[in-house]
Structure 1
Amino acid sequence: MRILVVEDDSRISSFLWKGLEEAGYIVQLASDGYEARDLITAEQWDLFILDVMLPDIDGLQLAQLIRYKKIDTPVLMLSALGEAEDKIKALDIGADDYLVKPFHFPELLSRIKALRRRYALHYAPDETLQCADLTVNMDTNLVQRNGNEIQLSAKEFKLLVYLLENKNKIVSRTQILNTVWNTNMDTFTNVVDVYISYLRNKIDNNFPDKLIKTVKGRGYMIAGDK
């Protein structure tokens, strides 16, 4: 499950990122509305967590943008404003839930699960990612190729999921770093190459059809017949 967290307070965003990652979610942070606006439309997300009070484009405007773009992904608003009219305004423009700061982290996790359950009931998303004979069950984290189970580390799994979510598309090392390692520092790009090698050893080496491709000068992609 991929979550975009938009929060300008570095202390709070760090707290959210650490807790959500430990809970098993893939988290991308945005510190302002402009960065968030680009990420909202550039990639697919399973949940948006938006701070209401941002210095430029605020969380309410971002929620409006999400619904204007006909993106049905759940939106959870975070705010220090706890008055009834504040909550009503957010819900009226398309937010699905509203949590007042400060909050207990277990409550946030509970609300995330509730939002995803409601979303699944309405939209019944496919919980299996597939490329050729490679499948990843997102409910159980089971990875299989041609029916054979493949054991992956947590980072290898996140990397594979990101490649599959962008199947047949080139993703740069920087994009991978942003999503899987939550950093865009160029000095870490060799880490991506190392983990791509780890994945290839487990996903491709024992099979005649190689799914993970290197696109020289641009990045990587996973591609297959399905």
Structure 2
Amino acid sequence: MQILVVEDDKRISDFLIKGLEENGILVTLCKNAEDVLACYSTIQWDLIICDIMLPGMDGIQLVQTLRYKKVFVPILMLSALGSVQDKVTALDYGADDYITKPFHFDELLSRIKALTRRQQYQQEEAPTSIFSYGELTVDLNQYRVLVAGQEIDLSPKEFKLLVYLIENVDKTVTRTQILNAVWGITFDNHTNVVDVYISYLRNKIENPNNKYIYTLKGVGYIFKT
């Protein structure tokens, strides 16, 4: 296993490196976000451990940038900030887990194992999947969407919504089903977020000659081939 540690505090980085290497993990240390983007973002890490309070670009901005660049390696955030809002912000911007300083190394190790195990299961269960409908091509493994050969930039939520619709191709899905699958909301809370994101998707992937997403009034939506 290869882990990238992004931490500028020498005391903490020494502690992390010693503990991880004693458990047979290969560790690379980077002290700031800028160097991660310049030198390490294209490497296939098993996990990134990232402090939030970094010099220059902070850890949250780094996670945002990595996700924007379609780097989907699991990211575990470290922070002395322990409020619920701090955790929610980190997770919403693309982190996979969050642990508050100070922490027990055994807990950190368990979280690392859980994140990498989940990633391994996903890779084993997800064969190469490329779907094409008219001018639309969706590569589930590389998180790429192309329209007429041109790559389209989708946000993580837009991509997740599109994938859910494709997984249910030619089937009607309700707004509540979409809320549950994409946003984790298990009830209809009268939000219009589904309709808003459907509109975003249509604007990005459809044109007068190629329509994919159809509205069933009072019911939901259907992705048709």
Look up the match of 1:43.
43
Contact 1:40–1:66 (CA<8 Å) still a contact in 2?
A: no
Find the residue that maps to 2:91 and give its secondary structure: helix
Q: CA deviation at 1:95?
A: 0.4
- SS, match of residue 102 in structure 1: coil
Partner of 1:3: 3
Matches within 5 A, 1:28-177: 28-124=28-124
Tell me how far apart the structure 1 counterparts of residues 39 and 16 of structure 2 sit (CA, whole Å).
18
CA deviation after TM superposition for structure 1 residue 116, in Å: 0.9
Show structure 2 runs of 5+ residues with no match.
Answer: 126-225
The CA distance in 2 between the partners of 1:67 and 1:100, in whole Å, is 22
Aligned residues: 126
For the residues of structure 1 that align with 2:99 and 2:39, how far apart are their CA atoms? 22
Alpha-carbon offset, residue 34 of structure 1: 1.4
Matching residue of 1:201: none
The CA deviation at 1:29 is 0.2
Task: Output the amino acid matched with 1:12.
Answer: I
Identity over the aligned pairs, expressed in percent?
58
Alignment of 1:15-30 (within 5 A): 15-30=15-30
Q: TM-score, normalised by structure 1?
A: 0.54
- For the aligned residues, what is the CA RMSD? 1.6
Cα offsets for 1:180-213 (capped at 9, x unmatched): xxxxxxxxxxxxxxxxxxxxxxxxxxxxxxxxxx
Structure-2 separation of matches of 1:20 and 1:94: 24
Give the TM-score, by structure 2 length.
0.54
Separation (CA, whole Å) in 1 of partners of 2:5 and 2:42: 15
Map of 1:185-204 to 2, 5 A cutoff?
none
Give the CA deviation at 1:70: 1.1
Deviations 1:46-77 (A, max 9, x none): 10000000011111111111211111210000
**Letter matched to residue 92 of structure 1:** D
Aligned mates of 1:39, 1:24 — CA distance in 2: 24
1:192 corresponding residue in structure 2:
none
Q: Distance in 2 between matches of 1:124 and 1:67?
A: 22
Larger RCO (alpha carbons 8 Å, 6+ apart): 1
Which runs of structure 1 show a deviation greater than 3 angstroms over 4 or more consecutive aligned residues? none
Q: CA deviation at 1:3?
A: 0.4
Q: Which runs of no fewer than 5 residues in structure 1 stay unpaired?
A: 126-226
State the distance in 1 between where 2:66 and 2:79 align. Answer: 18
| Deviation at residue 42 of structure 1 after TM alignment | 3.7
Which residue is equivalent to 1:14? Answer: 14
Residue 99 of structure 1 aligns to which amino acid in structure 2?
I
After TM superposition, give the deviation of residue 41 of structure 1 in Å.
Answer: 2.0
